[in-house]
Chains A and B, each alone.
Chain A
């Protein structure tokens, strides 16, 4: 289990924990980021300040701080 921000582009896995507090948690949820969702890291900006992930066909942009509060269990093959 590790925060999204420690994963590399292309990494896939499943969300195991979301540490964010409401209302951010609720927002992440309504965008499809919930415990158990599949997730894939799509992109981040050069300075890794903004991240893009995909879950169930929805692409979501997050800032570093929010991305760090989402923990995933990466599937094999990801560093």
Chain B
């Protein structure tokens, strides 16, 4: 077996192709195993426009960049990490489907220089596709720092495809990629050829001949790829040929080939034979092209000794989580005050500039305070997201999964489920998607059903507001930590119950890479945060502004002019200022009660009355089903109306006056447990096709939330609060 090198003459292809013509498009698929730094490469490319979307039909994030150079517009699609074309997780399926079915011009395969031989096995699978391809060997700095060396020319010679050595961290070689893309795109070089053992090649030949009988596989390159994939027992490809007229004949031939090869190589499956071939080939290549660094105790080894220590590991993990929530609260509260002040200023300006009336009121009383009350929490949310991203990108998250696997197994979950669960603290939507890493459908659905109990960052504003109003400041961080932890514990208990009652059976196997610890690139973190901030501000500016406008309208109309007249007369007649103010707020409160919103609130009040909620809190709770931030903005609108007293104008004080301590705790419990926002609910629907689960998902958290809140409310009552 050998990699036959093709003509490497590059000079012929370098002619300034058509700068004067209109932009030519080159579409590139960026494929590689997880943790090889594909995203960092994309983030560090100069002059790239980033676009974030979803892969069609699924909710896996799709990052694309567009670069213009020498008259070409190059579009690069960052595929989800994929270990092998024998895809295992749903995310890998997305990458595989893209590689198989989408239209693109060339593949950039990113590999990690540290684990080159393992990466090359996937490279060989990609090379079987017979597409134009470039190999990018990333993290070259790490290998070199340890005294190793990768021989680029040798690799190119042996593989027969262009190889670029890069370090996204040091911005080395990254911008060369684009030049190579254009060069490979324009060159007419024969495609790469990768040859297996003669006995395998013989059988591939037979299959290719058979495939040629079908008009679908006239292209010899494609036929060869299909033949290899059939030997690799690729179910997707098998499904394709299943519908062909030649299927019966082909099927018979395949069976015979499988038997012959398995006998000859003394292996269980032809897929194992191909694996062994690729493995040997990768070993041979690495032997020639890579000078391995001397084996030393790496930083990762040393850190792991402490961080996944059998006894110390867990306490350290819990400390990190506690620290994260402390910082979220403490540091986040600083800019909060500035933002609050800024929005109050805006409201005051509007009041001063615009004439009194509906427009002034909708802006100054409705939209501005509502949007402001939500944007105030942007710092908290960004800090929490940064923390979770840091855990993920440094590689610590995998350690946490390792530490917690035994524990999670007791609750019928597996260690890997820990990653979506922790992402759930950031946002439930990506967490539902992260659950895709769980292959077993039972594990996945259990994880998704309890994910909502991991309080997302949108619920943070509600907690912060209520904690601020009802608990001493010195304990704020701890209370927040307790809320999050109790959500997590509840999730585990429910998971256990679900596992025992509805999903009997063993959880899926746990096999997972533990990536080396890496210091994440600041730019990548910055980009992630920026995307998050932008989305949040957009949501605040559109969805939440819209929702608060509706709430404002419902709370301001219908106008009862008789009521107003009678009160105005009373106010006229009042003797001192204090009495006037008293009457004014009475009027406002009456008006609010008679509004549409008041009517709605009164209707649903009985449902929440056992929890000690008045109609305003009831309305806010229901509004929270749209988005959790809306709870805060609704409370702001509902309690700000009728606020005539200049001194007690903060929302917190209004809440203290109107809500009892036990009702506030009951509200926290409700927020913690009940259905997440519409966006999350629709993601769940998109991810889970079964109607029974969808129905269950819509009902049980709300019932559970009410029951738990009822219990807590009464317990606090017994305790004398």
| B602 on the A face (CB < 8 A) | no
B401 and A57 contacting across the interface, CB-CB below 8 Å: no
Contact-residue bracket for chain A: 20 to 34
- Nearest A residue to B416, CB-CB: A61
Could you say which residues of chain B place their CB within 8 Å of the CB of A30? 33, 83-84, 86, 118, 121-122
CA A31 to CA B119, docked complex, whole Å: 9
Could you say which residues of chain A place their CB within 8 Å of the CB of B398? 61
A contacts with B: majority SS:
mixed
| B718 on the A face (CB < 8 A) | no
CA A50 to CA B591, docked complex, whole Å: 63
- Which one of A28, A35, A46, A59 lies within 8 Å of B511 (CB-CB)? A28
CA A47 to CA B405, docked complex, whole Å: 11
What's the least CB distance linking A49 to chain B, in Å? Answer: 4
- Which one of A42, A46, A47, A63 lies within 8 Å of B509 (CB-CB)? A63
- Which one of B271, B304, B310, B515 lies within 8 Å of A22 (CB-CB)? B271
For window 486-521 of B, CB contacts with A under 8 Å fall at 509-516
- Nearest B residue to A21, CB-CB: B268
Could you say which residues of chain A place their CB within 8 Å of the CB of B414? 63
B308 and A56 contacting across the interface, CB-CB below 8 Å: no
Most buried by A among B233, B311, B402: B402
- Which one of A29, A46, A49, A60 lies within 8 Å of B311 (CB-CB)? A46
Q: A26-B84, A32-B115, A32-B117 known; A47 and B406 CB under 8 Å? A: yes
A56 and B405 contacting across the interface, CB-CB below 8 Å: no
Q: How many interface residues does B have (CB within 8 Å)?
A: 42
CA A66 to CA B415, docked complex, whole Å: 14
Could you say which residues of chain B place their CB within 8 Å of the CB of A77? none
Q: A27-B83, A49-B409, A58-B513 known; A36 and B88 CB under 8 Å? A: no
Could you say which residues of chain B place their CB within 8 Å of the CB of A63? 405, 409, 414-415, 509-511
A26 and B86 contacting across the interface, CB-CB below 8 Å: yes
Could you say which residues of chain A place their CB within 8 Å of the CB of B511? 24, 27-28, 31, 60-63, 66
Could you say which residues of chain B place their CB within 8 Å of the CB of A42? 304
CA A46 to CA B403, docked complex, whole Å: 9
A56 and B117 contacting across the interface, CB-CB below 8 Å: yes
- Nearest B residue to A51, CB-CB: B402
- Which one of A24, A35, A52, A60 lies within 8 Å of B308 (CB-CB)? A52
CA A35 to CA B121, docked complex, whole Å: 14
Q: A43-B304, A50-B402, A61-B514 known; A56 and B509 CB under 8 Å? A: no
Most buried by B among A32, A47, A62: A32
- Nearest B residue to A47, CB-CB: B406
CB pairs A–B below 8 angstroms (27 shown): A23-B86, A23-B439, A26-B86, A27-B83, A27-B511, A29-B84, A29-B279, A30-B121, A35-B276, A42-B304, A45-B310, A45-B313, A45-B402, A46-B406, A47-B406, A49-B405, A49-B409, A52-B402, A56-B115, A56-B117, A57-B114, A59-B515, A60-B513, A61-B398, A62-B511, A62-B512, A63-B510
Q: Which residues of A contact B (CB under 8 A)?
A: 22-32, 34-36, 42-47, 49-50, 52, 56-63, 65-66
Q: Which residues of B contact A (CB under 8 A)?
A: 33, 83-84, 86, 88, 114-115, 117-118, 121-122, 233, 269, 271-272, 275-276, 279, 300, 304, 308, 310-311, 313, 398, 401-403, 405-406, 409, 414-415, 439, 509-516
Not counting A30-B122, A59-B513, A61-B401, a sample of 17 additional A-B residue pairs whose C-beta atoms are within 8 angstroms of each other reads A22-B233, A27-B88, A27-B511, A30-B33, A36-B279, A45-B402, A45-B406, A49-B405, A49-B409, A50-B403, A50-B406, A50-B510, A59-B304, A59-B514, A63-B510, A66-B510, A66-B511
